[in-house]
Structure 1
């Protein structure tokens, strides 16, 4: 596995000013800040055109120190931040990269930005270096210093630099040296076209780690991180230097006889393995991770290779023969993950397969250390048909039977939903005239059918009521109608079989009604009378509560459709009125028994033939 470190900085502490020989051209213009227009005399913002090819890209205030200055605070030694000898030449830059008094999501750093004499070539590998030293009088050190490459000069009118780093120092490695210079170097694969390099802390306050270095001063200087920067370099590496490769990681089935020679070309100045070896070749016989740092001048490239013992972690279990209902297909069968290859007899090559047809199947799986094979049978049952049911009819009040159906392992439901499953076979209730519905399924080989409908109709017992005796006027036709019954037959005493007959003569008439639940019979007597002379009006009554002739009433032996009787005293005052022939006068008016004497009545009536009669007369009240 290729693990060339392209986006991190390696930190090497340099305690002196000796430089190793360079192996390629440094593309950074004025890399040690030696070229200037005018010697610095006072501390000013780093945008002033003093140092050639370097600018201040934000509103921060980076500093420049040079021995040419007559101002002590602008000289490398004994300035306001401390003392340091330039790594090279007479000058260096300084930037504040962090403060505990700041917060927020944007970086709180000053930056310096330089120019390169050529644009970087796409996919070429470059060694990127610079030196930094923690200022004596600023006790806070950090672990986040980086470099950003841009194609054009990036200038911000705020304190925030609008780009992130391309290379950054390793997390939790703190730059604490105040005596010597620390070399930060990393490997960068160019995107193509980059010509400007910016240095600083590109992380927010919350993503920057800091520690107090040395003896605290006891004031604001303990909360600020300030570094001197010198000798910035960007050099293209030869391809044979950048292509350090220990090979791919390996997984071993076992360690019996394991031995491996790890080697790198002898094109580097020196190498250092994580085993402590410094030779270009080492022999390993135990599993583990092996890494190498190869030095080419002041540039270092890294690679790592790992040898591990195969740990399948595979929990294997045989695939069981399976029988399922067709409605539940397809059925998924699977083999544990962890194999490199899978092959099912139906052609699937993943760790699982979905099967919809019956048959005998097999699966093979394997990896570099193990193989697995299994055979299993799939049986698929067809779905059974719904149970057989027959609609039934029961009589009202009959014994209440259980619902019936023909099938296996029946299950009854109150409706078509599975959630309405009944605990037992339902009982048909016969106390109410209605239609009752139940639903039933059967289960065969574990497969449940669709539901069939069971319907029962509760029929009424036959009923017959022709009413009480009937009086009618001669010449009128009377309709005798039997009680309506569903699905019934009728037989009248005159032989008629309809549900109603017409009668015009005296007699007793009967009808028998029959249905599936039995028979019922009733009879009625009909009398026809002469409606032309059917009234009797008494002329005297004695309301003395002796039980004899205590009421006055008009009697009629023919059917009437209207009736009105009025009685008046001798002063013409109405003392009684009736609209029904069955009403009678008890001799009282307004709660007072009336005087004995003669009373006048008027009578108006109409019989069922439409004939109207009016009468007037007198009655005598005797006390």
Structure 2
């Protein structure tokens, strides 16, 4: 700043008049700032040294773009331009705030069936350290994508630390669908009576064998077996998980099936299971035995229930595979028909 003085002398009167003025010279403003790095979700204070009126652009992520030291919290790497003006001069500078973004891929919660596994699906980034906690049921808890095979529902926390030291977290819950099914207690019925089977649930049911059931794909079929039968119910819920249970329906009475029926035979002349024959119990009934192949052709028929099939069809060895039998006999004036299948092996 400089002070100037002016003196005026009147040439006639010789009077003197003095005045002064100060000229203030404004300095050129200066800005000195440096780039910085923050973690995603973090913030940094920016400092612009110097005097004047400041303006930061863009204002995105700044708490106040009109001060010399705003707080910057950008969501992504951003370059700011700062201007300083003192009325005479305007100077500019730039600063870049680098954002170390999260390497974590958000994982959706999932439901699995008992005994199933799930592998996480993180995008692997070099230099990132991954740690899963707890490490229960994990193939490896210090890799990006371990395999989890939990026995129970569990929530995992993932910690991912970048090369710059930023630490990020995410959680994922694996729900184990603890599906169960109960077919009921074993029961006993008199021949020609029915037994009410039942199983709770809102999914799909499959009962096997399907023979002598009012329905094989419902939760509560009526069973009217002609012989003691073990039924197995498989329940599949809306998540695709399944569970099974069994129930035995014991059949008693004089018309209960008086023989055993094999489920396979091997007609290879080795003296063991060479014929499809019924095992006779007491009492002995008269009736017929018919055997059909998979195309519905009658390959054997005998009017003696206990006369077995030797595996020949038109004098030639029948093909290996599944066959259907139909047994008809009379008991106390009632016609009884048994149907089932068996396998021919060689």
Q: TM-score range by the shorter chain?
A: 0.3 to 0.5
Provide TM-score, normalisation by structure 2: 0.38
Structure of higher CA gyration radius: 1
